[in-house]
Amino acid sequence: MSRVYNFSAGPSMLPVEVLERAQKEMLDCNGSGQSVMEMSHRSKEYQAIIDKTEATLREVLNIPDNYKVLFLQGGASTQFAMVPLNLGNKNKKADYVITGQWAKKAYAEGGRYLEATAIASSADKTFSYLPKVDKSMLTPDADFVHICYNNTIYGTHYNTMPDFGDAVVVADMSSCILSEEVDISKFGIIYAGAQKNMGPAGVTVVIIREDLIGDAMDITPTMLNYETHSENGSMFNTPPTYGIYIVGLVCEWIKEMGGIKIMHEKNVEKAKILYDFLDNSKMFKGTVVPEDRSLMNVPFVTDSEDLNAKFIAEAKAKGFINLKGHRSVGGMRASIYNAMPKEGVEKLVAFMTEFEANN
């Protein structure tokens, strides 16, 4: 069977070059005579892999020296608790911008440990835009402000970063990390589940400014304390070894193509093909205001639930899978992460054009 075009929001498709290299090294990685899956995380062979993964990630994202890179488990959802437990010990207050389901969950979880304030929300229009926010809206003594940089379900993205002044900004970048250049120094913490744009499910990458480590609340469990993982090089317990290895291969793939700048240019080109079609279609329409559109997740609808269902079924038969929108929104969603080739978007648009003509 030939490979399908997988538009899943996550776990999502990986670059073919990465999969082929992993396949080649499956039984014998780097002349060790063993698979990465079999390696002791305490071995010098595996230490070389995790060290190279971190070094390449630092290079690709241009991570400053005063930031730690942690490879954790528990998904981005565990960060909803880790962030307030570790950062909220000063004034026990935090601000949240509510731009979708994951931002809502982060806010609710934060409220269990500190005084959480929702300073803005776009729930009034089904999260189809990003509310305007700035430093004047922040709680004066809040320990941090939390944003979801790219909203996977609703297809919005901070194309212009809000001015939060000197506040500690925490960003969930699960669905856009490695897709564009980001000034890491503007953030206190960036966290991301790997399964959308970095690798397989199971790894969560945390990029944290060093001065934010070491002042966790007394109630913080050992495994939820950033200091635990920082002091042990992400090796306090057995890390998701194979997932980290794949993240390293993905970073090498981006580096070899010319880096994040080139990756971003490719993503802009792909997204333009799909958005241009949606803007000119009489049947399909995008659901996000143009200024806040994501390059990674593109939700769209027709004016009929029956037509939506017919489109999804026929698309799957043609090899375009996982186009059904999130259950909380309906319609369709094409997630066109780094690994989705331009050809996949072009063929999807050709199919959509044909479907529109026939219906």
Tell me the catalytic residues: 102, 172, 196
Q: Are strands 156-157 and 332-335 parallel, antiparallel or unpaired?
A: unpaired
CA atoms in the 13 A half-sphere facing the CB of 279: 10
Tokens standing for residue 138: 């922040």
Instruction: Compute the C-alpha angle 130/124/327, nearest 5°.
Output: 85
Asked if 139 and 105 touch (Cβ cutoff 8 Å), the reply is no
Residues 6+ apart with CB under 8 A from 262: none
CB atoms within 10 A of CB 328: 11
Whole-angstrom Cα distance, residue 243 to residue 194?
A: 8
Q: Which residues of 97-124 are buried (b: 16+ CB within 10 A; e: fewer)?
A: bbbbbbbbebbebbeebbebbebbbbee
Asked if 275 and 348 touch (Cβ cutoff 8 Å), the reply is no
Q: Is 4 left (phi over 0), alpha (psi -120 to 50) or beta?
A: beta
Tokens standing for residue 145: 């402000």
Beta-strand runs (E) in 9-113? 67-72, 93-98
Would you call the peptide bond into 341 cis, given omega within 30 degrees of 0 as the criterion?
Answer: no
